[in-house]
Structure 1
Amino acid sequence: MPSVTIGRMNQGRLDGKIAVVAGATRGAGRAIAVELGAAGATVYVTGRSTRGQRSEIDRPETIEETADLVAAAGGRAIPVQVDHLESGQVKALIERVGREQGRLDVLVNNIWGGESLFSWTDRLWEHSLDTGLRILRLAVDTHIITSHHALPLMIQNPGGLVVEMTDGTADYNAENYRVSFFYDLAKTSVLRMAFAQGKELAPHGATAVALTPGWMRSEIMLDAFGVTEANWRDALAAQPHFAISETPAYTGRAVAALAADPQVARWNGRSLSSGQLAQVYGFTDIDGSRPDAWRYLVEVQDQGKPADVTSYR
């Protein structure tokens, strides 16, 4: 296949491929949609926030804006408002994809929406139970509902790919408590979902993986530090380890590289990171670097060492 450049070194084309990025309103989902579209895939971008209606997160980003960014990158995107907790809405989405395209090649389960719900300080018995269970529904049930409806269409053709987006690698999460009971359970559950789907999909010629970004400079993260992508380094005064952070495009390029890999089945059921895949596939972040956040976290940040990204990006 011919390749496309722009920081996506030797990345294959995805012309004729059909993708659904579930949870593409902002952050990693938005960037994944852009990179898949730029590589030639037709991308259905879903989420709850539209120009006419905001979700409970109440942020300005919309699925239509994501579709416009895909178009600006030379791709084709179809925005569809979907609440992935509503089985009927997800079923209708997949039926539409089947009716309009006749196939599904890539499913990215990036639904989350729990950013403002969990507490970093409340222990299990102190945390609001209703809120905690809502977090699990948003992080786990949404992925299960989406895969349940999407996989029958995907396995009609060999070579399908499911990407379960999470936070943390299987090795890291197995050894480290992720500060909040509900957050820990939510993000670790997604790792196991990829493993389980991999087992069930393999006989049908499809692959499932879990993928984590590093410390990602999403819209919400930049706002939390009071910076923009243009001046993000100003945040280092408050948190020097933020120097290892990466843009959402880095994760988007990781997914596009996986989707274009004819040998993607080698990763089936595994937990992967953006930094790890950059070393394998040769893509870079938008500044030309290759941040390896999870190695940095283990070897520098968690060891209490001063921030130093030398040899880590």
Structure 2
Amino acid sequence: MAEVAARAGVSSQTVSRVANNHDNVDENTRAKVLAAMQDLGYRPNSAARALVTGRFGALGVVSFDVGAHGNARTLAAIADAAREAGFSVNFMGVRVQTEAAVRQAFQHLTLQSVDGIVLIESQMLDTPSLHLPPTMPVVVADGDTGHEYPNVDFDQARGTRSLVRHLLDLGHRTVHHVAGPRDSFAARRRSEAWERTLVAADAPVRPTLYGDWTTESGYLAGRTLAQDPNVTAVFAANDQMALGILRAMHEAGRRIPDGVSVAGFDDVPEARFFEPPLTTVHQDFDVVGRHCVTLLLEQIERREHAPRRLAVEPTLVVRASTAPPPARP
């Protein structure tokens, strides 16, 4: 730091203010200091800076399926919002949701000196024996909070209800459902809302078929549904499974939407290019990611851990894959 100060012709205190991104530095002076830092290969000591500021300038993210559309989009939004706030992001992917895996991920990120952690879609939080570091700010995205952590999620029930009501209002007697994995909070909430909406409308509730979010699992479920002539409307818990159902119906000679209406959930960018374009529920994952960072920074700055839940409203997007059912003979 002394060498940078000498090169730039300023005090060491000025170099410190520039290194910590304080705003009480003249822009010309800041430019000279940054140029001197680059010339000398200076890198601020993060540990020393943390002793002064109380922050490490990094946020941690734990996700259990980064390949899933929603998780990947949420992670990208968190990274963007963190960067804008002057933080870097350290990511830990966990393949299996166990208490040991969650604790290990948190321990690893703690050793990397993060200021707070976002946990994306975890069913582990309702495990009474799971105890996370009490001093670490935590925000949960797309997961139930059986603990005291702030949570950001979509209003899954509202999105599902609008989609099922759309299909019933078209004249379908009932709506069949291909759900996501049984251990997924999002899949569970969508499935429960589907059933409640049918019951409220006095519509029959048919047995649920389960997939794993993949197009292949939707295809396999679609092959089963295609054999039943009474199936006129299908709600898939995500767009990838809906794509598989479209393929299965096509192979079985069931026309979409004249014979069967198919709808999904998420509104992936490709959904409007499906054949036919897919009716679905749009979720703005960018908003979720940014809310997560906002809540995390509130905890970091105020050292608070008060529970708070933000529900982001999804939007029904009607396209050409849904229509009134075929006329009964």
Q: Could you state the TM-score of these two structures normalised by the residue count of structure 1? A: 0.39
Larger radius of gyration: 2
Q: Could you state the TM-score of these two structures normalised by the residue count of structure 2? A: 0.37
